[in-house]
Amino acid sequence: MGAFDNLLQPGRIGNMEVRNRIVMAPMGSNFAEADGTCGERIQAYYEARAAGGAGLLTMGVVAIAYPHGTAEPYQVGLSDDKFIPGLKGIVDRVHKHGAKIAAQLQHAGKNSVRDLAEGRELWVPSMPPAVKTDMFAALTQEELGAFISSSKGREKAGVKIRVMEQADIAQMIEWFAAAAERAQRAGFDGVELHAAHNYIIAGFLSGYYNRRDDEYGGS
């Protein structure tokens, strides 16, 4: 018996059976069309990974409120029924090769660089403290160039911060719920909530960034 025999054995997550234990972690491909729909490029991208033998693919950073709350210039949207056909195309092509696929639902909160570029408010649980960091430091030169190019002509002066009221929180919850329902209709086998990178859920979970004094306060 080899050291990795279990890797190729079937697995189960809840009631979802997966053909093996190889999982493609969620990451932003930046392969969507300019309007957030899923064209041939991103459909072929996920099909190739399913054909490669992975048991489960996780489609990263699927924007629940597109274009609001996006962190990439060519991010996948799921805020409207118009996104379902392209997503269903991906699901069908992945399923054809025997793999399963989940959608990672995301809202970038204070890290929504597209909202920043287009002059929209950045939604936050509370006013963020000053942090000495460069959010672009992790980007390659190619990625940085692509982002700058995609944002030309859309720059707006100043940073607008929106500290979320309870009605905004209710709206955020509805966006996540509606996106999950659309993912189900598109045929996805599951969803994942993006709660890292100081995106909106991570912001609420953090006692550092969430200084609210109501029931949504951080701990």
Residues that are catalytic: 199
Structure token pair of residue 141: 């030169």
Q: Map the chain to HEC letters.
A: CCCCHHHHCCEEECCEEECCCCEECCCCCCCCCCCCCCCHHHHHHHHHHHHCCCCEEEEEEEECCCCCCCCCCCCEECCCHHHHHHHHHHHHHHHCCCCEEEEEEECCHHHCHHHHHHCCCEEECCCCCCCCCCCCCCCCHHHHHHHHHHHCCCCCCCCCEEECCHHHHHHHHHHHHHHHHHHHHHCCCEEEECCCCCCHHHHHHCCCCCCCCCCCCCC
